[in-house]
Structure 1
Amino acid sequence: MSLPKRILKETERLRNDPAPGITAVPHEDNVRYFDVTVEGPDGSPFAGGNFHLELFLPEEYPMAPPKVRFLTKIYHPNIDKLGRICLDILKDKWSPALQIRTVLLSVQALLSSPNPDDPLATDVAKHYKEDLPGAQAISKEWTEKFAAK
């Protein structure tokens, strides 16, 4: 299966110049499918966690965004129980100028600054809005339970 040059270049850059706290390794049998690990950012309730994600590049990539999903359970207003992520650049704000690296850095940034005003997990967003310290405590607890290094 031959891949577009762009995907080969992006994959090579991910391998040779990884973003801090992020690894993305393509599967041997399907190089459009990546195993991703994102470290929880320092200073966030997700600090100390290693979160596993999957990233898939559809045939339409880069004209269509990659499909990204958390495999590690996480308590976050923008990530639902199935691991789907509410992030504008994965939906209506996608641009072919963006790259896999940009997407993964944006996902990592979302861990630093959850947005309960654009939730995917409405119950978690409600908790974040009504009791931020309590919600962050659960996020930290889930990180220790499900994403410990």
Structure 2
Amino acid sequence: MKTPARKRLMRDFRRLLQDPPAGISGSPQGNIFLWNAVIFGPDDTPWDGGMFKLTLKFTEDYPNKPPTVRFVTRMFHPNIFADGNICLDILKKQWSPVYDVSSLLTSIQSLLCDPDPYYYRLPSRSGNSNAKSPVDSEAARLFRENKREYNSRVKETVEQSWTAD
């Protein structure tokens, strides 16, 4: 039986095959709820030439709830955690059912070149939801204070993406 989530994911897959965004690919891996994707670094940016692998895990609540998206490739970016999880508003509170896999991957590709180098909001131990903690403090600091060194580290990440499993 095809559930609404399965139908929507099949539609998203067909759209990705028929009209793929530049530098993006993705497909289910034997299970419509588990996808592998690749984002190529945008041209003329420090990410140019990189091939970055991701996993997307969907639930039966899709498209009403976002998938869990994680980079498999090691990343150096202010908004990407060491475990590959991504701090992006549309993956959290700003999610909308109008987003599909194509638009989601395009947003993540765009985030590579347009990070928010300041903070990811986390509730503090005291319950204060305005507490701030950096996602990747070193990447954020370099992005703000030393773009040359930041870009050098990004280029290292790009080179490592070629050989990563």
TM-score (norm 1): 0.92
Aligned partners of 2:39 and 2:51 also within 8 Å: yes
**Which of 132, 139, 143 does residue 128 from structure 1 map onto?**
143
1:148 and 2:162 matched: yes
Tell me the equivalent position of 2:106.
105
Aligned partners of 2:41 and 2:49 also within 8 Å: yes
1:85 and 2:76 matched: no
Tell me the equivalent position of 1:2.
2
Q: 1:94 to 1:10 in 2, by over 3 A?
A: same
Q: Which moved more, 1:128-137 or 1:69-78?
A: 128-137
Tell me the equivalent position of 1:31.
32
Residues 8-32 of structure 1 show CA distances to partners (whole Å, capped at 9, x for unaligned) of 211111122211110101111x111
Aligned partners of 2:33 and 2:57 also within 8 Å: yes
Letter in 2 for 1:105: T
Tell me the equivalent position of 1:58.
59
Q: How well do the aligned residues superpose, as a CA RMSD in angstroms?
A: 1.5
Question: Which secondary structure does the structure 2 equivalent of 1:147 belong to?
Answer: helix
Letter in 1 for 2:61: E
Whichever of the two has the greater Rg, that structure is 2
1:17 and 2:32 matched: no
Count how many residue pairs are aligned between Structure 1 and Structure 2.
Answer: 147
Q: Distance in 2 between matches of 1:15 and 1:32?
A: 17
Question: Which secondary structure does the structure 2 equivalent of 1:62 belong to?
Answer: coil
Give structure 2 stretches of 5+ with no counterpart: 120-133
Q: Identity over aligned residues, as a percent?
A: 39
Give structure 1 stretches of 5+ with no counterpart: none
- Please report how far the alpha carbon of residue 43 of structure 1 lies from its aligned counterpart in structure 2 after TM superposition: 2.0
Question: Which secondary structure does the structure 1 equivalent of 2:39 belong to?
Answer: strand
